Amino acid sequence: MVKRSRDKRKDESMEIKRSFVLTSFHINSKILEEDACTAIRQMLSKGDPFPHVHLDNFVGDGNRAIHQLEKELLTMDWRRRENDLYTLSQTVDLKSLKATQAPFLYSFRRFLTTSVRSWLSETTGVELTSQVDSTGSVYTNHDGLLPHSDLIGTRHFAFVYYLTDKEWEEEDGGYLQLYSANDNHEPVEVVKSLKPKRNSFILFEVSADSWHRVAEVLTDRYRLSINGWFHSTRKLDPPPINIRTIQRFSPTSMDVDLSDLVVDQYQKPDMVAQVKMFFNDESEVMINDFVEESLNASVLQSLNKTKFSPVGPPSKRNLMRAERSSLKGAAASLYSILSSSSFALYLTHLTSIDLDETQLSLQVYRLECGSYSISGDEELEESTKDGHCLDCNIFIGGEGWDESAGGVIVYAGKGDTQELIRLQPSGRSLALVLREPDVYSFLKYANSSASSPIYSFSLTYYNVPMEDAEEANDS
């Protein structure tokens, strides 16, 4: 029996402890019925395009509890997360929460690790370990998550529990999209889209083929969820990734007149010297209004008639690349100029890097809403082999593009948590970056704000000699 002090005076230095009540979440009884469990078992073993199930009204009789869970989740400390794969806000793993901090989230976390884990293990016959990862995620306007498989470590089943409002519709975006896969375990195309419906629960088995994405959110409202993984002792190795090879060649010996390309200002020796000084200090430079307006207009007109083909797979990139044979007129002329030793010599004047004996690649891309590229370990390996590289991008068109539309070119280093360089594509501009080994680049997802395409003539000079540049810096 607790004894109360007869002294009713309050000591202001004492902290008054408040009581809290844990909520008992439970699975909807209809889902626990034998027929329902049999159907779920089948879907989690033979689902198309990979084993998955989407369960409506997952938490039974819990309208008030769900509302409080949502309210509590929104008051969490959200961390903004952005890289080549995703843009969203997340909480820490919910296992770090104490009951006194967030009683509803704490209760839901216990619900996942006890009732849901036991039900899932019994239904599927998979022996699950006690490890359950759970995190709060929120996507809002222009946020999204690009194709990935979740195949890491001992993850066995992925889950998403939605706390979105009931009015969420297809025009709001943010659907969970499932991909078919080819024999190389690469995603091919979206074959199924699942609505982020309030109080619904999505489960799927993690495998080499469980490719999925969160489509771009097209509303200011919150796509709110609790998501994570159930683990087992199983550990699958990811399949090898096919490296995309890009043709390399030496600069052509053709003598070209650069006055058709470069505005007069950047052909003058004093301006070239200024650019060289800046580049030698920063190892990168972005020059706006670099391309002659007349050439920009004529190239843009011919590119509108050029055949572009998609370059994938979606797990690595979604880009439209020009077929070399279809380049005609001004676009073909620009391609020839950029392939030439004359242009390589001009870049040498701008950078102090001798490019005459180097190999280069040249691709023409159409960047538009939905364009992106994702970097991984294989890009880092290639970067190491290629030594120092000079990346050169000339942008054509693109009126109306700004940073809010995405589509920026980001450079990052191995093990770095911060971006090194961020280049914003801009019509008629030239971007030069000296890329060191163990530095990679990616194209940030171009979102629905991208009002018109922008074209990129993308050159890379490989294994460039650094002696001349270092001597120029010393002088």
Closest CA to 211 of 139, 133, 134, 315: 315
Q: Is 165 exposed, middle or buried (0-12, 13-18, 19+ CB in 10 A)?
A: middle
DSSP string, 302-341: HHTTS-EEEE--TTTEEEEEE-GGG--HHHHHHHHHHHBH
**Rounded to the nearest 5 degrees, what angle is found at the Cα of 404, between the Cα atoms of 407 and 314?**
35
Cα 397 to chain centroid, rounded: 25
Contact 456, 337 (CB under 8 A): no
Tell me how far apart the alpha carbons of residues 474 and 345 are, in angstroms, rounded to a whole number: 21
For 367, the enclosing helix (H) or strand (E) is: strand 359-367
Q: Are β-strands 317-322 and 308-311 bridged in parallel, bridged antiparallel, or unpaired? A: antiparallel
DSSP string, 33-82: SHHHHHHHHHHHHH-SSSSEEEESS-BTT-HHHHHHHHHHHHTS--EEEE
Q: Is 270 exposed, middle or buried (0-12, 13-18, 19+ CB in 10 A)?
A: exposed
Q: Is the peptide bond before 453 cis (omega within 30 degrees of 0)?
A: no
Contact 185, 311 (CB under 8 A): no
**In the prediction, which pLDDT does 17 show?**
52
Closest CA to 117 of 191, 33, 180, 201: 201
**In the prediction, which pLDDT does 21 show?**
62
Q: Are β-strands 359-367 and 454-462 bridged in parallel, bridged antiparallel, or unpaired? A: antiparallel
- Amino acid code (one letter) for 183: D
Tell me how far apart the alpha carbons of residues 139 and 145 are, in angstroms, rounded to a whole number: 9
Tokens of 56: 């409506």
Closest CA to 379 of 313, 440, 300: 440
Contact 155, 206 (CB under 8 A): yes
The pLDDT tens digits for 297-315 are: 999 999 999 999 999 999 9
Tell me how far apart the alpha carbons of residues 214 and 82 are, in angstroms, rounded to a whole number: 14
411: Cβ contacts below 8 Å, ≥ 6 apart? 419, 420, 421, 422, 423, 433, 435, 439, 440, 441
Contact 51, 125 (CB under 8 A): no
Tell me how far apart the alpha carbons of residues 95 and 101 are, in angstroms, rounded to a whole number: 12
**In the prediction, which pLDDT does 475 show?**
45
**Buried b / exposed e along 7-36 (16+ C-beta atoms within 10 A):** eeeeeeeeeeeeeeeebebebbeebeeeee
Contact 203, 120 (CB under 8 A): yes
Q: How many CB atoms neighbour CB 471 within 10 A?
A: 10
What are the backbone angles phi and psi of residue 303, rounded to the nearest 5°?
A: -70, -30
What are the backbone angles phi and psi of residue 177, rounded to the nearest 5°?
A: -105, 135
Closest CA to 339 of 445, 244, 467, 248: 248
pLDDT tens digits for the chain (475 residues)? 444 444 544 454 444 455 556 778 999 999 999 999 999 999 999 889 999 999 999 999 878 899 999 999 999 999 999 999 999 999 999 999 999 889 999 999 999 999 999 999 999 999 999 999 999 999 999 999 999 999 999 999 999 999 998 889 999 999 999 999 999 999 999 999 999 999 999 999 999 999 999 999 999 999 999 999 999 999 999 888 777 788 999 999 888 889 989 999 999 999 999 999 999 999 999 999 999 999 999 999 999 999 999 999 999 999 999 999 999 999 999 999 999 999 999 999 999 999 988 999 999 999 999 999 998 777 778 888 899 999 999 999 877 677 788 899 999 988 777 889 999 999 999 999 999 998 989 999 999 998 889 999 999 999 999 865 444 444 4
Closest CA to 404 of 444, 349, 432: 444
Three-state DSSP string of 156-208: EEEEEEECCCCCCCHHHECCEEEEEECCCCCEEEEEEEECCCCCCEEEEECCC
The pLDDT tens digits for 56-107 are: 999 998 788 999 999 999 999 999 999 999 999 999 999 999 998 899 999 9
Under DSSP, the state recorded for 96 is G
Tokens of 269: 């020796």
Contact 434, 284 (CB under 8 A): yes
Tokens of 68: 């409080």
Taking the CA atoms of 87, 88, 89 and 94 in sequence, report the sign of the dihedral they define: negative
In the chain the domains, ranked by start, together with CATH numbers, are 34-232 (2.60.120.620), 258-474 (2.60.120.620)
